[in-house]
Amino acid sequence: MTTNSVAAIILAAGKGTRMRSKRAKVLHELGGEPMIARAVRAVAALEPNPIVVVVGHQAREVEAAVKFPNARFALQEPQRGTGDGARCALEQLPANFTGDVLITYGDMPAIKSSTLRAFLDAHRKRGARLSFISIILEEPAAYGRVIRDTAGKVEKIVEFRDASPAERAFKEINTGCYIVDFELLRSALAELKPSNAQDEYYLTDIVAIARTRRETIEAWVADDPAEFAGINSREELANMEAEIRAAVNQKLMAAGVTMVDPASAYISEQAEIAPDCVIGPNVQILGACKLGEGVRIDGTAWLSNVTVGPRCHLKLGVRAEDCSIGEESEIGPFAHLRAGTELAGHNRIGNFVETKKARLGRGTKASHLSYLGDATIGDDTNIGCGVITVNYDGYDKHHTTIGDRCMVGCDTQLVAPVKVGSDVYVASGTTIIREVPDGALVMSHHPQREKPGWMATWRKRHNDSPDGSLKRNKDHQKRVAE
């Protein structure tokens, strides 16, 4: 380790009682991912080694949400304040570590990595052994106050509940983000005492300890207080979600994307949308979606991790996830593309068609009311109305293969595993249970039978006349009586 090394501690052990939830606070989602993931990603951009996440409530679930290779975890049980959490984290740092320790919070998901980098650079430039980020608020509410002496130097940080009326009048507050020399941090944490109204170990007390030791302390005043907003309630969660969504939409519109109603467009930060796309109202584009140039989404659509090729048209009510749609395809209305669907391009998936693990070749169409699951279909094949790949036998899923340039008639069932060759014509109402060779006509019709005069007998049984007038008269009398 060198003196330029930096480690990071992210405090994320609390339950968050004001969320009124069985889930740990940091597991609640923002922009389609747990807020802890956002908080860790901002820190990870500085390449600290290691990153120690302090967990407590629902520890395993929080650990699972942190998907960074050099992350370590420290269990704080019971939770007795931020200072106690930092002490737990020190146990995960290497014994020979020398350098600075950055401390942030898992419920502070709006902070930017660029801000943390500027903070770290300022700390080292000023030669401080302890620095923290402060902000100025006109209405500081219940945040901890930064108390300075007459010379303007930081004297201490006082939690609101422990502050005097004079101290509460200060407008500079502590955000809770620190950079501390490792040796100073370890020794200061050892001196902490729970001498406060909550009987907890406050991390803020290390400032007063460092002051007593005449260490160099710097309060780095950040420009944007919004970055340090914590999430403590459902209302705050919703407000930050709205801010994230508005920022994403503004960025996309500035890059050439049309939004019919930006207020109803929910688009993830990971989504990539090319210029000249048109996004209709009430559309959700989640995860790592990619939309090519000129894509049009009419509205009321839900997409998750979907790649859409250029000039595709997604009509009303389309749902698609974990799939790819080739260029110039037409989807919907009311189509459902499930995971594993691959459309090669120039495809038509019409109303009430469902696909799952289905690959459709270029130009292939399924215009309405079909289910295509566990299937590979070639180019320029037409799937008629009511066609079903019967892929499940009650225990296992089986595959269906259909070749190029086939005409599959309406109300056809393909009982998998089965293969249909190319240039095959499947007559309407056929049930296919074995392989069909190239170029064949296949059918499985039952003989048609007729019973002459049956309808007259049916009407007579119901006391109706051949022209239906008696039945209509009875219906009219019934309505009048009612």
Residues forming the active site: 368
Judged on CB neighbours under 10 Å (0-12, 13-18, 19+), 68 is middle
Asked whether the bond before 333 is cis by omega within 30 degrees of 0, the reply is yes
Amino acid residing at 235? E
- Rounded Cα–Cα distance for residues 53 and 72 (Å): 6
Judged on CB neighbours under 10 Å (0-12, 13-18, 19+), 196 is middle
- Rounded Cα–Cα distance for residues 107 and 104 (Å): 9
Show the 3-state SS of the chain.
CCCCCEEEEEEECCCCHHHCCCCCHHHCEECCEEHHHHHHHHHHCCCCCCEEEEEECEHHHHHHHCCCCCEEEEECCCCCCHHHHHHHHHCCCCCCCCCEEEEEECCCCCCCHHHHHHHHHHHHHCCCCEEEEEEECCCCCCCCEEEECCCCCEEEEECHHHCCHHHHCCCEEEEEEEEEEHHHHHHHHHHCCCCCCCCCCCCCHHHHHHHHCCCCEEEEECCCHHHHCCCCCHHHHHHHHHHHHHHHHHHHHHCCCEECCHHHEEECCCCEECCCCEECCCEEEECCCEECCCCEECCCEEEEEEEECCCCEECCCCEEEEEEECCCCEECCCCEECCCCEECCCCEEEECCEEEEEEECCCCEEEECCEEEEEEECCCCEECCCCEEECECCCCECCEEECCCCEECCCCEEECCEEECCCCEECCCCEECCCECCCCEECCCCCCCCCCCHHHHHHHHCCCCCCCHHHHHHHHHHHHHC
Are residues 318 and 304 in contact, defined by beta-carbon separation less than 8 angstroms? no
